Amino acid sequence: MLIDVRPMLKGEVREIALDYLTPAPEDFKDIHFTGDIRIKGAIVNHDGYQVLDAVAEVPFDTHCSRCWKEISRLFTLNIHKVLATRKSLQNQDEDNDDYLLIEDQKIDLDSPLLEAIVLEFPYTFVCKEDCKGLCTKCGKDLNEGDCDCPKKEIDPRLAILQKLLDK
């Protein structure tokens, strides 16, 4: 979304409130985005120093990385960016991710926002903190109870020595 910051640059307003929806990125890995991204926040002028402070909320479905149950969550990303013009960044790297560039007195929030979401999105999720996962031998969900698999496994190369201990 293009945000017109002309009124702020002219000193007519001190704050531009944001509350809008934008399409979620394409699904990736085992993540399915179930709705649009909601952006809530504001662009505030602190005496010539403009700052974007916002929160992005993205609903998604995925699987628990331990037990593979389906889970639905809401990923929340806090965004804090300083607005700058190319002229003010002439001595610095223009590709610096700390700044949002003002071009033609507008800023484009969508592309840096989608990039930040993809970069900050966690790799794994669990259905609950104490999820026990699946048995590595039989595949039983250990959250539903223990399986009958032996808990202690002996290295097959040393199995002959176990016979001596059993005597």
Whole-angstrom distance, CA of residue 123 vs CA of residue 129: 15
Whole-angstrom distance, CA of residue 102 vs CA of residue 113: 15
The letter for the amino acid at 123 is: Y
State the burial class of residue 155 (Cβ atoms within 10 Å of its Cβ: 0-12, 13-18, 19+).
Answer: exposed
The 10s digit of each residue's pLDDT in 48-80 is: 789 999 999 999 999 999 999 999 999 999 999
Nearest to 52 by CA among 119, 104, 97: 97
Whole-angstrom distance, CA of residue 88 vs CA of residue 80: 19
The letter for the amino acid at 34 is: T
Question: How many CB atoms are closer than 10 A to CB 83?
Answer: 21
Res 154: pLDDT: 75
Q: How confident is the model at residue 10 (pLDDT cuts 50, 70, 90)?
A: confident
Check residues 143 and 154 and name the one with the higher pLDDT: 143
Check residues 77 and 160 and name the one with the higher pLDDT: 77
Res 101: pLDDT: 83
94, pLDDT greater than 60: no
β-strands 50-63, 37-45 pairing? antiparallel
90, pLDDT greater than 70: no
Nearest to 79 by CA among 58, 51, 45, 111: 51
32, pLDDT greater than 80: yes
Is the Cα dihedral 144, 148, 154, 156 positive or negative?
negative
126, pLDDT greater than 80: yes
139 vs 48, 126, 150, CA distance in Å? 60, 17, 13
Calculate mean pLDDT across residues 120-135: 92
Whole-angstrom distance, CA of residue 144 vs CA of residue 113: 40
